Amino acid sequence: MNTVLSRANSLFAFSLSVMAALTFGCFITTAFKERSVAVRLAVSRVTLKNVEDFTGPRERSDLGFITFDITADLQTIFDWNVKQLFLYLSAEYSTKNNALNQVVLWDKIILRGDNPKLLLKDMKSKYYFFDDGNGLKGNRNVTLTLSWNVVPNAGILPLVTGSGHVSVPFPDAYETTKSY
């Protein structure tokens, strides 16, 4: 321990070990916690159009418009190892073309310290709900669920789905008027 370099090296190695121990403690105390809560979802309006997919492949595809409500209290999920929650409302359904489709309609970031109680009414989707083809027309079973990605200070990044979902039947005909 007689050069600056060897002292700096030992110091660095020691701090790294301490940080590793802290990280592990942070992680192990919250790793097995239940992170799901009850969520109430409701859909007030469903409209269906068929247009060229301008967000990507330029083929005529079904475009859905959903107006929804979300009620949830996420207070219990936040603890000292949760930095933020990335919420996303996703629609899951199956069509003739694809056995499984999942589309994120809306998302929101809730940081620790922000209001964790959600009371959203008449929300419009943030992202265009294009299908890969024409599979939304007459689709009786499009299920909406609210999920969240827990971002910790240190630890696992789990994806948790709230308990509570709503099934939306899509209309059999396309809407031709300009309304949303």
Query: Can you give the binding site for other proteins, defined by CB under 8 A?
Result: 3, 5-6, 9, 12-13, 16, 23, 27, 55-57, 83-84, 86, 88, 90, 97-104, 109, 111, 127, 132, 147, 149, 151-157, 159
User: Please, what's the b/e burial string for 130-164 (b: 16 or more CB within 10 A of its CB; e: otherwise)?
Assistant: bbbbbbbbebeebebbbbbebbbeebeeeebebeb
In angstroms, the Cα distances linking 110 to 38, 41, 77, 88 are: 17, 18, 11, 11
Secondary structure (3-state) at 98 = coil
Smallest distance from other proteins to CB 86, Å: 6
Smallest distance from other proteins to CB 146, Å: 11
> Among residues 31 and 121, whose Cβ is nearest to other proteins?
31
> Among residues 23 and 167, whose Cβ is nearest to other proteins?
23
Smallest distance from other proteins to CB 130, Å: 8
Q: Which candidate, 106, 28, 19, places its Cα nearest to that of 68?
A: 106
> Among residues 24 and 121, whose Cβ is nearest to other proteins?
24
Task: Judge whether 90 and 147 are in contact, CB under 8 Å.
Answer: yes
> Among residues 83 and 121, whose Cβ is nearest to other proteins?
83
Please state, in angstroms and rounded to a whole number, the distance separating the CA atoms of residues 158 and 107. Answer: 16
Smallest distance from other proteins to CB 178, Å: 24
